[in-house]
Structure 1
């Protein structure tokens, strides 16, 4: 259980790409990245999340039957973070609020 929110950078053994995940104060993963070819690109992605997280307009909310997700986008419209699946829109909104609250100040832990 994580006491503090944090970004974790890790390298996939499957494709040798770098990814980040943002863990909330309860240890749950609340945001994940797509794959990056370099660690620096991954760190740049985290920096972009920190800048864009506070702005509600950057969140693209998606609804499917029994599945609610969101994407966090940068100012140029690129997806920089992908949420977990939520079973209700209320749970998704709680996830967005957690990213807004946690991401800007979260430290980065390098697991790669």
Structure 2
């Protein structure tokens, strides 16, 4: 089962969504408060079930990745860069599978 790992950074607080195998599948922006970060977690849980919320992109060096957006269009999470479109699409499926029931842990 996946989990949201909330952690402090030098500039604020952020979360990573990790799959059951411990691999990071989605990373948030840096938030200024823990409450805002936890709201971001809830937004991921809610929006991860809607295909239309996933924006499939390509980096400048040609590697596929995706953003998960809230209903207002704001990016709430970004994936790693993948080696193939198929791997990126598997990442999206992993977010859809793991996010809704993922526990929240603090590091």
Does the aligned pair in 2 maintain the 1:69–1:84 contact within 8 Å? yes
Unaligned runs of 5+ in 2: none
The TM-score normalised by the length of structure 2 is 0.96
Q: Is 2:42 the counterpart of 1:51?
A: no
CA distance in 1, matches of 2:78, 2:6: 15
Partner of 1:99: 95
Gaps of 5+ in 1: none
After TM superposition, the runs of 4+ consecutive aligned structure 1 residues lying more than 3 A away are none
| CA distances 1:48-90 after superposition (whole Å, capped 9, x unpaired) | 0000001000000002444110000000100000001101000
Q: Establish whether residue 35 from structure 1 lines up as the match of residue 30 from structure 2.
A: yes
2:65 equivalent among 66, 69, 82:
69
CA RMSD of aligned residues (A): 0.9
TM normalised by structure 1 equals 0.91
The one of 18, 29, 52 equivalent to 1:23 is 18
Cα distance in 1 for residues equivalent to 2:46 and 2:2: 16
